[in-house]
A and B are shown apart, each in its own frame.
Chain A
């Protein structure tokens, strides 16, 4: 079975631009979470979706938005990019009501210049 797939793997954008990152969870996993990981830090929670509904939102500005599709894949959108948005964006999928084992994708490395 394929794991969690994210695209693109690397991306360079200019300040003020918009970006869309994509994630396909493991087959059968209905919950998708997005995390931002700045170099040298732990992953910071951005959004969680389950059954196409937002179930949680971290402390990120409204420039960040996300959605989940009927096939449980997900997109993360970031508008008006800032230099500080440069990070590794990780997508994690999990089974419903599973309390521990996230499976992470390899992430999208976003560089804002």
Chain B
């Protein structure tokens, strides 16, 4: 079967750095994606890793280790608006195969 494990909740202070981990067990692997979803909103794409290493996009970075079936999302200089749910997602095949999502991590940024 397929499974993606993320912490259910994380709390961090405004201005700090937070890391959200994701471990996956899937039948195939064609990349790890991260999505952000604010309450009542749609998931929005943040980042994608197909190869091992770190990808940086502004305050957000994402890391992948395929040998460890592990990745993380790093959020720097946290802002109150970063309070949201964050989902890791894996594509198990190439082309038009669907994304499989984790259950999400609810991030609360406090003053």
Contacts and interface: CB of A to CB of B under 8 A. Distances in A.
Interface of A: 4, 31, 33, 35, 40-45, 48, 50, 55-56, 58, 90, 96-97, 99-107
Interface of B: 4, 30-31, 33, 35, 41-45, 48, 50, 87, 89, 91, 94-104
Given A100-B33, A103-B45, A42 B103 contact: yes
A41 B104 contact: yes
A97 to B, nearest CB: 5
A107 B30 CA distance: 26
The residue among B4, B44, B99, B102 with the most chain A CB atoms within 10 A of its own CB is: B99
Given A40-B103, A99-B50, 13 more contacts: A42-B87, A43-B43, A43-B101, A45-B98, A45-B99, A56-B97, A99-B31, A100-B33, A102-B43, A102-B99, A104-B42, A106-B42, A107-B42
